[in-house]
Amino acid sequence: MKLSALVEQYRGSVLENVHMGVLCGVNEFGEVLYEVGNADHPAFLRSSAKPFQAIPVMQGKVVETFGLAGEEAALFAASQRGEKYQISALESILRKTGISESQLITHPTIPLNDEPKLDYLMKGLPPRRICHNCSGKHLGILALCKVMGYPTENYGDIQHPVQQRILKVLSELSGCPVEDIHIAVDGCGFPVFALPLKFSASAYLKLACPDLIADESVREAAIQITGYMNAHPDMVASHGFICSELLRDPNIVAKGGAKGFYAFGLKKERIAFALKVIDGSENPWPIIVASILEQIGYSNKETIRRMYKLTPLEIRNDNGIIVGENKAAFRL
């Protein structure tokens, strides 16, 4: 396993912590332009797979069939945090589709964000399946099952026709043969996919530059779901989270996954990146992404500023005093 230092953390002048990992950037010709560590390193996409899992949902005309709003459709690719506006939209999807919350295989839980979580606890509300941060993805697949007449009882099984279609879409867009994609089970009960980092980056390049997608149906579906993501960024995560802050930039398609995986594509530049922080940390993501954008000369400085606002270069203690710094440790 070839790893490189991605972010170093200093307390005073002493190196206190290092986040190791791998990253790569690819162009539209499938060439690896940038490699830190090993671009062939296999990594699970986790929730970064959600835009691809939503493509069959778009192909099945779920949005049109059930008259869903754009902010509701964006939840199909989201890792929502339980904000009131997100729960309200999820409840609206339940009503419009006629899906019962009990049909979701997500484990009942409470909201992730502090404010809605505190509200839940103070009111003594019970855990709910739609509070799970993957519930939007699950509702999309269940709605597609209704449209297509597929069984709903085993919709999370890799042998289910929708899951097989997702696997095929991911293979087509990434360029990674199906037989080389490793399959395990995600936290929410869905199949989860691991493939070499360079293929994940290539898949995100197709999301950013859908003209590279040969299949017209897949191409139109990719345009549709990424359009919802950019139009409704706070649905995809929530305020103050990297996915939402990157998606505010209409030139970027981005989505993170658990245990340190992140990927994003740049539309005008026609390049995409995938990265994995090996210790599973998410806190270094904004610094890594900001440094990538700075090193390639990205023109939207506001996007870079938003990254450093999420994870500042300065490390402050509980009294707000600067006691150290974060540094990007890699060079493209």
Q: What is the CATH number of the domain that holds 45?
A: 3.40.710
d(Cα 229, Cα 235) in Å, to the nearest integer? Answer: 8
Q: How far apart are alpha carbons 266 and 297 in whole angstroms? A: 12
Give the tens place of pLDDT for each residue, 140-182: 999 999 999 999 999 999 999 999 999 999 999 999 999 999 9
pLDDT > 90? residue 30: no
Q: Can you give the pTM of this predicted structure?
A: 0.97
User: Rounded distance, CA 128 to CA 232, Å?
Assistant: 24
- Which pLDDT score is estimated for 32? 98
Quick: pLDDT tens for 285-326.
Answer: 999 999 999 999 999 999 999 999 999 999 999 999 999 999
Please state, in angstroms and rounded to a whole number, the distance separating the CA atoms of residues 263 and 253: 9
C-alpha distances in angstroms, 44 versus 111, 189, 211, 286?
A: 25, 14, 26, 20
Residue 1 has pLDDT above 90, yes or no: no
Q: What is the pLDDT of residues 82-116, one digit of tens each?
A: 999 999 999 999 999 999 999 999 999 999 999 99
d(CA 65, CA 146): 10
| Domain count across the chain | 1
The span from the CA of 202 to the CA of 27, in Å, is 8
Q: Answer yes or no: is pLDDT of 200 > 90.
A: yes
Average pLDDT, the chain: 97
List CB contacts of 173: < 8 A, sequence separation 6 or more: 52, 202, 203, 206, 207, 213, 218, 222
| pLDDT band for position 124 (cuts 50, 70, 90) | very high
pLDDT tens track for 60-77:
999 999 999 999 999 999
Residue span of the structural domain in which 61 resides: 4-328
